[in-house]
Structure 1
Amino acid sequence: MPHMISSDRAVIEWRNESTQKPPKAALYLHEAGAERILKSAYEQTATVWTGDFHNAKQVLSALKKRVRKPSGKKKTADVQDMQTAFHSHRIRQAQQSRVLNMLAVEIGAGFVLDMPRAPDVSAALADVYGEANHEPFLLPLNQLLGFIGAHEWHKKGIALPQLGGRIHVPFGVFSPIRGEYLDLLAAAPLPPSATGIEGTAFDIGTGSGVIAALLAKRGVPRIVATDTNPRAVAAARANFTRLGCADKVDLQTADLFPEGCADLIVCNPPWLPAKPTSDVETALYDPDSAMLRGFLNGVRSHLKPNGEAWLVISDLAEHLSLRESGFLARCLQTALLEVVDVLQTKPQHAKAFDGNDPLAFARSRETTFLYRLKAAD
């Protein structure tokens, strides 16, 4: 969110993709050590680096070592209060991010970074912001590096064997790097009517479009994919064109359901009921399980006779004590839905095996599920 702040040069716009409050002031420096930048950060003053770009990256690395230094307290799998552990982890992440984001650079008109040994960042910034700026603005260096990395991944794409192709995901759109849920979607038996001449599926909260593309590959002749994130809608549209399924997918900007009914309705909602701190986190965190509840409560009225609803979700929230173990069953009962079948798999991503991860005690127990649901009689 952009804000105007005062610097020792002028009043200038401050941009930050997170919900953090902007600094109270900014100070331009040709170079500075990590300790000085930290001292200014704790005084709510950002440091705007004007010197060598690679030196700035080295100082940022030094900052990360300082703010992410382990507390020295031994972590064990026997955590008494898992919910407290999760929220403490989130608070630490937010505090560290705020401090690191106090090292910034000035982006000139046309997305120009005028620093010695600086790369051309115009394409990466255009990927995030669209039309080029006419006035300079300040941007945390850590976020700029994230934009650059995301842009490279956007260009390269992510190879998904379930699709036989690549999904290209820009910054601000959830990336399907956890492929185990795609294995479940590729294996689940489709309702017979979904692949008939009039077969229709809805992909609720399509994101990058990966689920809609997978359904098209599996033979569903018409899919309606919905999302409210403009970046996701643009990314999904481009992915459908690349994968050759744009003629099968009707992409709509809609909150949850489109009009009409379908033979199959699929939703992969955010798995954790917590508050997101940036747009990209909305794919991870669902306050009070609002999207999950909205999907379950509304899906019955959008199903054709003998149609199915597929819910993709993990039990990580239960292992973190963020959700009671009987929560989903109660939601299904309230929504008048019954379970046809449950497919499940264990996560294969790196964090699931990282004993140093602060949430390893929960991740090691996590299971990902695909619930096949139908309207109860």
Structure 2
Amino acid sequence: MITDIRVNKPMPFFSEEPLIFFNRTTNVSLTIKALEAGKPVLISEFYNNGLDLLKALHQYLKKQFPNQTFKEQRAYRIAYQKLSKLIYIEIVDHKLNVKKAPSIGWLLKLYPEHSSFLLPFTKVQGLNSAWQWYQNGMDLPVLRSKIHPYYGVYFPTRFDHLILFDNWLKRYSGPKKSAIDVGIGSGVLALQMVKFGFQKVFGTDTNPNAIVGLTESMGDTKMSRKIELDFAPLFGKWEKQTELIVFNPPWLPAAHDLDKIDEAISYPETLFPDFFEAAKKRLLPDGKLVLIFSNLAQITQVTEAHPIEKELAEGGRFKLEQCLKRPVKAASNQTKRDQNWRAAEEVELWILVHA
């Protein structure tokens, strides 16, 4: 039962030792030294004090880490994550126990069994922004109605790859009895397929929040009968062959030292070989396998290998029917990271058929 799935959420922290308090009068340098020594710090008095400490931590780390290349940015983020996760804020009766704090509905929705506990301040920031998206919803250029992404579910903030897929679906003239969306996430690709007349879309995901969130948002509507979900890796319980398999995998190979940073955009070494092997069995003889990818790993020099090109060259399972590409729009002016590689980034739509 989907209702039995346990969602991923920040772990509540219950301290047995007194914590170091941080407010407007606290020495920032001494606080950062305490964090480096592994001592937890508790934000007190005002919510903004937490923002001030994080800002000071950023400035401190910028002096130690260059932040120019993609790899340097990763190292900087790892160091920041290690220290910032020791900064806590108290929750009492499902509310943040500081003045001028945002109201976050997830604190009751995700923690009904705990009324008072601590959470890392950065996790609370994530819960806060996720609550805004969840409540207000977001418009996508490829869908008629808003999506309301559940906490902890990747959702698109750039739309070039969705537009590429939408344009391909407009021209798709094959049968539309069923399709499989591997790694359904916030459900955008599945909703696009339903929009273009697919009668049934079977979706899987290894993220419990994706399954719980989509189940909740679809409720008992017509959409819940068109999109069927399974909390499982790759194809899960969907054994029957289908005319269309869609996969929008992570676009970067996972670094061994990442420890779940960038989890939504990092793939393990075995993902693509396992996927192609399983897809071969699930795709009807005249079916199409559609992969949405990017040249991000190559232009940021994370790796020269392209997993789809590798499969086509060595796998012997599929052949290329078409590869469509679309340049990515320039990074937002509000983005703080140096993203000069964006000018060369392209999203890719690979259409493969049985070899």
1:315 to 295, 318, 321: 295
2: CA distance, partners of 1:5 / 1:120: 21
The 5 Å alignment of 1:177-192 reads 177-189=157-169, 192=173
SS at 1:370 equivalent: strand
Contact 1:297 1:335 in 2 (8 A): no
2: CA distance, partners of 1:247 / 1:130: 30
Matched, 1:225 2:203: yes
Taking only aligned residues, the RMSD between alpha carbons, in angstroms, comes to: 2.9
Contact 2:66 2:72 in 1 (8 A): no
1:355 Cα deviation (Å)? 9.8
2:182 to 204, 214, 217: 204
Cα distance change of structure 1 residues 277 and 167 upon mapping to structure 2, 3 Å threshold: farther
Residue-by-residue CA offset, 1:61-85 (whole Å, 9 max, x unaligned): 3333333458678x5xxxxxxxxx4
| Deviating 4+ runs (over 6 angstroms) | 353-356
2: CA distance, partners of 1:70 / 1:346: 34
SS at 1:225 equivalent: strand
Count of matched residue pairs? 340
Which residue matches 2:85?
101
1:234 to 187, 200, 212: 212
1:114 to 87, 94, 97: 97
1:316 Cα deviation (Å)? 0.8
1: CA distance, partners of 2:142 / 2:252: 25
Which residue matches 1:250?
228
SS at 1:166 equivalent: coil
Contact 1:226 1:253 in 2 (8 A): yes
2: CA distance, partners of 1:106 / 1:72: 33
The 5 Å alignment of 1:325-336 reads 325=305, 327-332=307-312, 333-336=314-317
The 5 Å alignment of 1:61-72 reads 61-68=55-62
Which residue matches 1:282?
263
The 5 Å alignment of 1:133-172 reads 133-134=114-115, 136-172=116-152
2:51 to 36, 41, 57: 57
1:354 Cα deviation (Å)? 8.6
Contact 1:104 1:141 in 2 (8 A): yes
Which residue matches 1:12?
none
SS at 1:175 equivalent: coil
Matched, 1:213 2:213: no
Matched, 1:299 2:279: yes
1:280 Cα deviation (Å)? 7.8
SS at 1:158 equivalent: coil
2: CA distance, partners of 1:166 / 1:349: 24
1:266 Cα deviation (Å)? 0.1
Matched, 1:266 2:246: yes
Contact 2:28 2:53 in 1 (8 A): yes
Contact 1:37 1:103 in 2 (8 A): no
Letter in 2 for 1:168: H
1:261 Cα deviation (Å)? 0.9
Letter in 1 for 2:150: P
1: CA distance, partners of 2:259 / 2:146: 26
Which residue matches 1:368?
347
Which residue matches 1:347?
328
Contact 2:21 2:43 in 1 (8 A): yes
Letter in 2 for 1:99: L
Contact 2:43 2:88 in 1 (8 A): yes
SS at 1:317 equivalent: helix
1:29 Cα deviation (Å)? 4.8
Residue-by-residue CA offset, 1:37-76 (whole Å, 9 max, x unaligned): 2121111112112222333433433333333458678x5x
1:304 Cα deviation (Å)? 1.1
2: CA distance, partners of 1:96 / 1:151: 24
Contact 1:228 1:255 in 2 (8 A): yes
Residue-by-residue CA offset, 1:202-258 (whole Å, 9 max, x unaligned): 000000111111100010111101112110112222344598522211111121112
1: CA distance, partners of 2:27 / 2:348: 48
1: CA distance, partners of 2:184 / 2:248: 8
Q: Which runs of 5+ in 1 are unaligned?
A: 10-25, 76-84
Which residue matches 1:16?
none
Which residue matches 1:34?
28
The sequence identity of aligned pairs, in percent, is: 25
Q: Which runs of 5+ in 2 are unaligned?
A: 1-9
Contact 2:153 2:210 in 1 (8 A): yes
1:131 Cα deviation (Å)? 2.8
Residue-by-residue CA offset, 1:300-341 (whole Å, 9 max, x unaligned): 111112100000000111223333356432312415101111
2: CA distance, partners of 1:232 / 1:118: 28
1: CA distance, partners of 2:175 / 2:157: 27
2: CA distance, partners of 1:42 / 1:232: 35
2: CA distance, partners of 1:8 / 1:239: 41
1: CA distance, partners of 2:327 / 2:233: 30
Contact 1:344 1:369 in 2 (8 A): yes
1: CA distance, partners of 2:203 / 2:64: 43
